[in-house]
Amino acid sequence: MALTREQVLECLKGITDPSGTDIVAAGLVRALNVEDGNVRFVMEVVRPEPYLPIKAEVEEKLTALGADQVSIVMTAHSKPAAPPDLKPSRKAEPAGPEKIPGVDRIIAIASGKGGVGKSTVASNLACALAAEGRRVGMLDADVYGPSQPRMLGVSGRPQSPDGKLILPLRNFGVTMMSIGLMTNDDQAVVWRGPMLMGALQQMLTQVQWGALDVLIVDLPPGTGDVQMTLAQKAHLDGAIIVSTPQDVALMDARKGIDMFNQMKTPIIGMIENMSTHICSNCGHEEHVFGHGGVAAEAEKLGVPLLAEIPLHLDIRLAADGGAPIVVSSPESAQALAFRNVAKTLIEAGKA
């Protein structure tokens, strides 16, 4: 029976991947071809095993819809990783920076000082890139205060049907994994060096990231073990440094930039967050943490200033509400500040 592409897509949208996202939105369906009753497409996955039940479901549903022939090719991106084990205390094997299969680029979002809005920037940037049609992943490596599950409105424990690969969760077009999803909300996490390295390496290599244009990594503040481990284990394409204009934050940001320089990670640019406060009642503008300090610093260091993000109540409310402002209020001036960064990165071929 002759089927239309729309009918087929509609049917595929009714099938979910293990994270609960429909397989079309999850970016699993590529190169769809519908000719008369013949349906062909490619399923992009790193390891096919966890997706075999989905393949069977697709075949069954499309046949029931009237397809004469359904042909699904499952692609693996590159060599499968060696079988990992899920014990968090496992020591990471010494190895140089590697590309993650299927992940085109990795961008770290870093700050010298805590609380300057690094995670807020990371979540908004990830959602803005996804809204531009990029395939985006978010690795919340802020092991001391993982906030991405809350900011991206994701909860629940990630599944691992084969006991080896972890299936990430997904929201707003962003595939995400956080150490916060593996621990209880109120459980204090005390990480020793080797555990930390093991957990980070696990999140990099044992998560079924799928095909991504860019993986955003939300780092903890400072210049510690996580930053070092990440740069040693994964090939970082660049770092974005978030700072407030305050002197103390800038001093720490400088240390962060110095660390990335030493690790030979290119600095993509700096973002001044909490730049200007505009009163949501009267519109009065004031510079709570000063203004322009990051622009001056970026110029001194010869790196681009990517944005000046205002300090605005709506940004905080959106973050706490589990839908970043670029999702909850995409046309607002605050969202546009983030969306412009996403566009700049895409135009520059960085994301």
Annotated binding residue 119: yes
Between the CA atoms of 108, 109, 114 and 116, what dihedral angle is there, to the nearest 10 degrees?
170
Is residue 311 helix, strand or coil?
strand
Q: For residue 238, which of 346, 105, 328 has the smallest C-alpha distance?
A: 105
Is residue 112 a contact residue for ligand ATP (CB under 6 A)? no
User: Any contact of residue 311 with ligand ATP (CB under 6 A)?
Assistant: yes
Q: Which H helix or E strand runs over 305?
A: strand 305-311
Nearer Cβ to ligand ATP (119/201): 119
Nearest Cα residue to 32 out of 71, 79, 2, 83: 71
Contact with ligand ATP (CB under 6 A): which of 150, 170, 312, 339? 312
142 or 237: CB nearest ligand ATP: 142
We find the least distance from the C-beta atom of residue 4 to ligand ATP, in angstroms, to be: 45
Which of 239, 198, 234 shows the shortest CA–CA distance to 101?
Answer: 234
Rounded to a whole number, what is the largest CA-CA distance in the chain? 69
* 350 residue type, one letter: K
Q: Among residue numbers 128 through 147, which ones bind ligand ATP (CB under 6 A)?
A: 142, 145, 147
At 290 the three-state DSSP class reads strand
Q: Closest CB to ligand ATP among 111 and 232? A: 111
Which residues lie closer than 8 Å to 190 by C-beta, 6 or more apart?
Answer: none
Torsion angle of alpha carbons 337, 341, 344, 349, nearest 10°? Answer: -160
Task: Establish whether 350 is an annotated binding residue.
Answer: no
**Could you tell me the smallest distance in angstroms from the CB atom of residue 287 to ligand ATP?**
13
- Annotated binding-site residue? 300: no
Angle at 256 (CA atoms; ends 255, 260), nearest 5 degrees: 120
Among 15, 23, 315, 345, binds ligand ATP (CB under 6 A): 315
Question: Could you tell me which stretch among 109-117, 192-200, 285-293, 341-349 binds ligand ATP (CB under 6 A)?
Answer: 109-117
Q: Edge-to-edge strands of the sheet including 38-44?
A: 29-35, 38-44, 69-75
- Per CB under 6 A, which of residues 234..293 are in contact with ligand ATP? 273-274
Tokens matching residue 319: 């973050």
Q: Is 233 annotated as a binding residue?
A: no
Using the minimum distance from each CB to ligand ATP, give the nearer residue, 17 or 142: 142
* C-beta of 111 vs 171, nearer to ligand ATP: 111
- Please identify, using beta-carbon distances, which residue of 206 and 334 lies nearer to ligand ATP: 334
The C-alpha atoms of residue 225 and residue 231 are separated, in whole angstroms, by 10
Distance in angstroms (rounded) separating the CA atoms of residues 310 and 127: 18
Compare residues 14 and 145 and give the one whose CB is closer to ligand ATP. 145
Q: 155 CB contacts (<8 Å, ≥6 apart)?
A: 149, 181
For ligand ATP, the binding residue among 118, 150, 170, 339 (CB under 6 A) is 118
Residue 30 or residue 255: which is nearer to ligand ATP going by CB? 255
Q: Does 309 bind ligand ATP (CB under 6 A)?
A: yes
Q: Is 178 in the site for ligand ATP (CB under 6 A)?
A: no
Query: Can you list the positions of beta strands (E) in 156-199?
Result: 169-171, 174-178
213-232 positions binding ligand ATP, by CB under 6 A: 221
Known binder of ligand: residue 96? Answer: no
**Position 307 contacts ligand ATP (CB under 6 A):** no
Q: State the number of binding residues for ligand ATP (CB under 6 A).
A: 20
Instruction: Work out which of 119, 124, 171, 223 binds ligand ATP, going by CB under 6 A.
Output: 119
- Determine the interface stretch with ligand ATP among 152-160, 174-182, 197-205, 309-317 (rule: CB under 6 A): 309-317
Determine which helix (DSSP H) or strand (DSSP E) holds 240, and give its type and residue range: strand 238-243
Chain mean position to CA 140? 8
Task: Give residues in contact with ligand ATP (CB under 6 A).
Answer: 111, 114-120, 142, 145, 147, 221, 273-274, 309, 311-312, 315-316, 319
- Annotated binding residues for ATP: 112-119
